[in-house]
C-alpha cells in the first residue's frame, strides 16, 4: 500500500490540504476536471459558484452511477455469453471425452 502524502491544492479559489496516496499530478487532473465542469455550468447561466459546484457534483455522480451500471450489464452479458458457449461446446463435444 502506498504511503499517504500530504498535498496542497487550490480548487475554485479554495486552498485545501489533502492526504492521499495519489500522485500530485493525478489530484491536479481531478481538480482541473471539476473546475472545467463548474466553468461550463457557470457559462450556461449560473453565477453562483456554490450552486455550479453542487450541480457539477450531481452530474459527476450521475456519470459514475451510469458507468457502474454499464459495467455491471457488460459483466452480466459476458457471463451469459460464456454460459451459452459452454452449452454449445457441451452439445458438440462427445460425452466422457476424458476417458
Domain assignment present for 97: no
Domain assignment present for 99: no
For residue 66, what pLDDT band results from cuts at 50, 70 and 90?
very high
Number of structural domains in the chain: 1
Burial degree of 35 (CB within 10 A; 0-12, 13-18, 19+): middle
What global pTM score does this model have?
0.66
Domain assignment present for 77: yes
- Asked whether the predicted pLDDT for residue 93 surpasses 90, the reply is no
pLDDT value at residue 57: 93
| CA distance linking residue 82 with residue 80, whole number of Å | 5
What is the span of the domain harbouring residue 81?
A: 5-92
Amino acid at each position: 500500500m502506498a504511503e499517504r502524502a500530504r498535498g496542497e491544492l487550490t480548487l475554485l479559489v479554495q486552498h485545501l490540504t489533502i492526504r492521499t496516496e495519489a500522485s500530485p499530478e493525478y489530484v491536479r487532473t481531478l481538480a482541473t476536471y471539476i473546475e472545467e465542469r463548474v466553468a461550463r455550468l457557470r457559462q450556461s447561466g449560473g453565477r453562483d459558484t456554490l450552486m455550479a459546484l453542487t450541480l457539477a457534483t450531481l452530474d459527476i455522480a450521475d456519470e459514475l452511477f451510469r458507468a457502474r451500471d454499464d459495467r455491471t450489464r457488460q459483466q452480466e452479458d459476458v457471463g451469459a455469453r460464456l454460459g451459452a458457449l459452454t452449452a454449445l461446446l457441451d452439445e458438440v463435444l462427445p460425452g466422457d471425452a476424458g476417458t
